[in-house]
Chains A and B, each alone.
Chain A
């Protein structure tokens, strides 16, 4: 089949910053192309330019029609389908599944004939939505919402399908189903499918991938070709001073070092690219804690904890221990009860049944809970701190609320800023800083009072590979230097492998609690952690 989509020198520019710079590539029909990169690396900008909803410079040719701006792309819109980022964004909460299909068929002006009806039935079958025809969209789960959005985007049989992070925030099982639908459509309709994703492991399902970093495409090709190209720079984990990045049991460098080569991961490509630009990991050194406390073996213990919301059981009789110097990963699909459980541990929700112990003391009264809050650190999703205050002001504010004296606060902020490499950003506003820097100082805000437990709620979503590598380095040091317990939730199954122990929740119940090695031993067939996870969910 000949090439159908040409993207030539496409640049999207926003006020003051560049979305994507000089993107050039071409694609054949029937191909699935993956756009992989962190938040803000330019994936969405490029997808929006191709979909004709964003102004750009350069040229895009699709189906022998060339366009340079959204207006010229207008006639092609009937051949395109765009699914924007965000779960259920194109859906209307109060319309049922059937009403959605009718509505999208009507606005696309599709004749309701037998061909359409049979196509529609087929789509519903593929999405597994047949039994939910009369359910309102607002009452569907996140995964089902995404499948319905996809079905609505597919109704007019687009030949160019543009999907912006369709799987972000969707549970692994639904993710696999979404990919099955895409594969089917590609075979059935011969469409070009452009998909952006934050999950590296999904790259395996794509014919061709484009890697994005800081508004540029840094590599493109098939997964195997790209991995081959990186092989020369990948070594077994080796101590190595500068010009090296060590992550995930591998050391990447452009120098020749005396070590065995191992097969790289896709993350490695980003690290090699960073090395090429002369970037290395900021060396970070967390110093010993000032308040020497004897942390007992069991830092926190939850016994038979349950939480009910009216008749709905959010958590049922969950037991969990957090040990000194241990990183525990709390995993589960959307709605499995992770958030509720963490909120009970944090003292934000009252505990309906069961007991919670911190440092051997049971948490009961309001005063107990305040005591609990003074001993834990919490990093929220998206690192939300106060936007109207500078980094420094934020940190001073948190230190004061934790009753640190002025001198102590100033001294600790200074030392963390130095250790985590954000001294030059103390007077900047959080919104002007990249996500990776925000991540570092949100951790600082959670550490200023030297807690005995650190809770992290999806601390790596949307963050680029370098920042993620550094983030795990901080956690490792905290564990060693401070001996605190760390509880982390994440969507990236690959990250589960960095945890000492994982706790798996399903429908409010604990279904697994073991080290990753133990889980691999009990599931010998699984190639990676994601497959173990899926075995619990099937």
Chain B
């Protein structure tokens, strides 16, 4: 019995390793894709082009300008007229223009109220508005406000307020969801496409062993890929902290993969070819990810969707993983995430298993 189980698992792993295209897609998803998501989604300003017109003759204006330095800003460019500056913004040469009027410094020295005009390219909204925030901070330091309150902030769970961590982790969890639906569905549908389905059915093997072995082999691939991402991308490239138990994460991932594999079995049961698998998986996966809190925090959703998110197993998985990585929650206090994944997972896997079992 076990020999047959492991033979099927071995056969599926072998044919996975031999299908180059699929192997490359999976490797890409687990490495480059997660890396790009973590590295690429930047909201902080970076290499922002700044131009200015200085009619004051230097002094304060140069002091302000000197605060705009790399890597956030490119060296500010000086323009001679407002027309040139506007043109530069229009042609996307710069994102922000600062105009120091001729009486700017005079008024400042006199202690009078004065203005600094800032032109922003609002099409790159987040970049230019963060830049505006920077400028406000710089200006604030010059005007010593007599207000004896100092903000002392304490960053919890993510001391560097590093955005990589969160984006990379969310992307990894989405990749896990996608592949653990797609891969198990594909092993079954490939048999349908290549005409080996009947031969598979004709083996004197209990259908349950065949289904279990085939989906288990793909769960193994997903778990192995996840470990690779955690090692190379999360720990290696982004230095994400692991405050909780690694084994808790491993176990949760393993259970969660079976949950999505159940969906994969359902997809396999109703699709005739790989194309249909891809289409159907997308349709199932998207609402799951939308409702999980990976892209929008759950508390920001419409109450109806908040309620619906209770049935997305990805929600429990994401919250569980965040707790493990960032909050360092104790293994036993993770029980409700495990329970969520386990309850929904058992149901989904049972459902998919029955659905494909009917074809045997």
Q: Chain A interface (Cβ within 8 Å of chain B)?
A: 343, 346-348, 370-371, 373-374, 376, 378, 380-382, 384-389, 393, 397-398, 400-403
Given A382-B195, A388-B19: A400 in contact with B7 (beta carbons within 8 A): yes
Q: Is the CB of A400 within 8 A of B4?
A: yes
Q: Is the CB of B202 within 8 A of A389?
A: no
Question: A402: nearest residue on chain B (CB-CB)?
Answer: B204
What residues of A have a CB within 8 angstroms of the CB of B15 in the complex? 386, 388-389
Q: A389-B11, A402-B204 are in contact. List 6 more A-B contacts (CB 8 A).
A: A348-B202, A370-B204, A370-B205, A384-B194, A397-B11, A401-B7
Given A388-B19, A400-B7, A401-B7: A348 in contact with B201 (beta carbons within 8 A): yes
Give complex CA distance A72, B2 in Å: 63
Q: Chain B interface (Cβ within 8 Å of chain A)?
A: 3-4, 7-8, 11, 14-15, 18-19, 194-196, 198-199, 201-206
Question: A387: nearest residue on chain B (CB-CB)?
Answer: B194
What residues of A have a CB within 8 angstroms of the CB of B205 in the complex? 370, 401
Q: In the complex, what's the smallest C-beta–C-beta distance from A433 to chain B, in angstroms?
A: 16
Q: Is the CB of B4 within 8 A of A401?
A: yes
Q: Which of A371, A380, A381, A393 contacts B204 (CB 8 A)?
A: A371
What residues of A have a CB within 8 angstroms of the CB of B202 in the complex? 346-348, 373, 376, 378
What residues of B have a CB within 8 angstroms of the CB of A403 in the complex? 4, 204
Q: Is the CB of B204 within 8 A of A374?
A: yes
Q: Is the CB of B203 within 8 A of A401?
A: yes
Q: In the complex, what's the smallest C-beta–C-beta distance from B23 to chain A, in angstroms?
A: 11
Question: A378: nearest residue on chain B (CB-CB)?
Answer: B202
Give complex CA distance A385, B3 in Å: 21
Q: Which of B4, B7, B19, B199 contacts A378 (CB 8 A)?
A: B199
Give complex CA distance A347, B204 in Å: 11
Give complex CA distance A382, B196 in Å: 10
Q: In the complex, what's the smallest C-beta–C-beta distance from A499 to chain B, in angstroms?
A: 22
Q: Is the CB of B198 within 8 A of A380?
A: yes
Q: Is the CB of B199 within 8 A of A380?
A: yes
Q: Is the CB of A386 within 8 A of B196?
A: yes
Question: B191: nearest residue on chain A (CB-CB)?
Answer: A386
Give complex CA distance A495, B249 in Å: 62
Give complex CA distance A374, B202 in Å: 8
Q: Is the CB of A388 within 8 A of B14?
A: yes
Q: Is the CB of A385 within 8 A of B196?
A: yes
What residues of B have a CB within 8 angstroms of the CB of A370 in the complex? 204-206
Give complex CA distance A90, B257 in Å: 43
Give complex CA distance A380, B194 in Å: 11
Q: In the complex, what's the smallest C-beta–C-beta distance from A453 to chain B, in angstroms?
A: 12
Question: A379: nearest residue on chain B (CB-CB)?
Answer: B199
Question: A369: nearest residue on chain B (CB-CB)?
Answer: B204
What residues of B have a CB within 8 angstroms of the CB of A376 in the complex? 202
Given A376-B202, A401-B203, A401-B205: A384 in contact with B11 (beta carbons within 8 A): no
Give complex CA distance A239, B231 in Å: 71
Give complex CA distance A403, B4 in Å: 8
Give complex CA distance A387, B11 in Å: 11
Q: Is the CB of A386 within 8 A of B198?
A: no
What residues of B have a CB within 8 angstroms of the CB of A374 in the complex? 204
Q: In the complex, what's the smallest C-beta–C-beta distance from B354 to chain A, in angstroms?
A: 15
- The 3 A-B residue pairs with the shortest CB-CB distance in the complex, in nearest-first order: A388-B15, A374-B204, A384-B195
Q: List 10 A-B contacts (CB under 8 A).
A: A346-B198, A370-B206, A371-B204, A373-B203, A373-B204, A374-B204, A385-B196, A397-B7, A397-B11, A401-B203
